[in-house]
Amino acid sequence: MRRKIVAGNWKMNLDFQQADELIANIVKELNQHHRKDVDVVICPPFPYLMIADYEAETNGYFLGAQNVSIFNNGAYTGEISASMLSAMCVDYCIVGHSERRKLFFESNKDVAEKVNRLLENDVKPIVCVGEVLEERENGQHFSVIKKQVSEGLFHLTEGQMQQIVIAYEPVWAIGTGRTASTFQAQEIHSFIRGLVLEKYGAETANEIRILYGGSCTAKNAKDLFAMPDVDGGLIGGASLKANDFVTIAQSF
């Protein structure tokens, strides 16, 4: 049975003190309520990984980064390598978020490279896919997602694929308050699982965890997570409020 997972993507938010308080509050509240069958991942900005690391790891939660370099090491000013993340006890790393695809021109090929670097360093990739509004309105969402999944991931072996978490984040739902319906989420999640089934077989398809992201809140998480192919969420705005994030983490 797949373990449930909820990850908070803080994006580039909060000052040091706010970050320190948020992580402390999340951990405190989780410790009061937390169900042990849910993996909780906290993905703060790079400079706050250290504080989050101590709080999260000592309490049984996971630490995630939001990005990684395609390079191993060397003269790449400003980049952060997968081995550095691994040395910081980072367990997961978000790859190919739509903000990085759009604003920093990350391609599916870049996603594939980043996934490789992470797996080489025992960090689990959370690979984001999703269509923009125009693609959905034109009925292209299935083909867009198929391309993102296959070009980003289908070079992996079966064993590697089982380390991957996929996050379906329709771009039109991110930060807009326009959440995908439970039908839309389930339809795409089951489509993605079907792609994995076709390529890797039933065991991997049953193992792989697929998260929903995009205006997922304390109010709508329960309905979304009740869908059979939705294994949890990748949470943006609502992960910046301890109460909301902890409620979401318990919405199974």
Kindly identify the residues of this chain, within the stretch 102-141, that bind ligand 13P according to CB under 6 A.
Answer: none
Burial class of residue 87 (count of CB atoms within 10 Å of its CB; 0-12, 13-18, 19+): exposed
d(CA 105, CA 179): 25
Applying CB under 6 A, among 169, 229, 231, 244 the residue interacting with ligand 13P is 169
Applying CB under 6 A, among 96, 152, 232, 236 the residue interacting with ligand 13P is 236
Whether 169 sits among the annotated catalytic residues: the reply is yes
Whether 57 sits among the annotated catalytic residues: the reply is no
Shortest Å distance, C-beta 128 to ligand 13P:
7
Shortest Å distance, C-beta 201 to ligand 13P:
29
232 binds ligand 13P (CB under 6 A): no
Applying CB under 6 A, among 44, 96, 130, 213 the residue interacting with ligand 13P is 213
Residue 42 bridge partners (DSSP): 8, 63
Which of helix, strand or coil describes residue 16?
Answer: helix
Residue 8 bridge partners (DSSP): 42, 235
Residue whose C-beta lies closest to ligand 13P: 236
d(CA 182, CA 80): 36
Q: Which residue matches tokens 């993996």?
A: 39
> What is the H or E stretch that residue 109 is in?
helix 108-120
235 binds ligand 13P (CB under 6 A): yes
CB atoms near residue 159 (< 10 Å): 10
List the end-to-end C-alpha distance of the chain, in Å, as a whole number.
14
Which residues have CB under 8 Å from 227's CB, separation 6+?
Answer: 182, 185, 186, 189
Active-site pick, 113, 131, 169, 189: 169
Active-site pick, 55, 97, 131, 189: 97
The mark string for 42-81 relative to ligand 13P (x by CB under 6 A, - otherwise) is: ----------------------------------------
Q: What sign does the dihedral 111-42-168-66 (CA atoms) show?
A: negative
Kindly identify the residues of this chain, within the stretch 2-21, that bind ligand 13P according to CB under 6 A.
Answer: 9
234 binds ligand 13P (CB under 6 A): yes
Catalytic annotation, residues: 97, 169
Which residues of the chain form contacts with ligand 13P (CB under 6 A)?
A: 9, 97, 169, 174-175, 213-216, 234-238
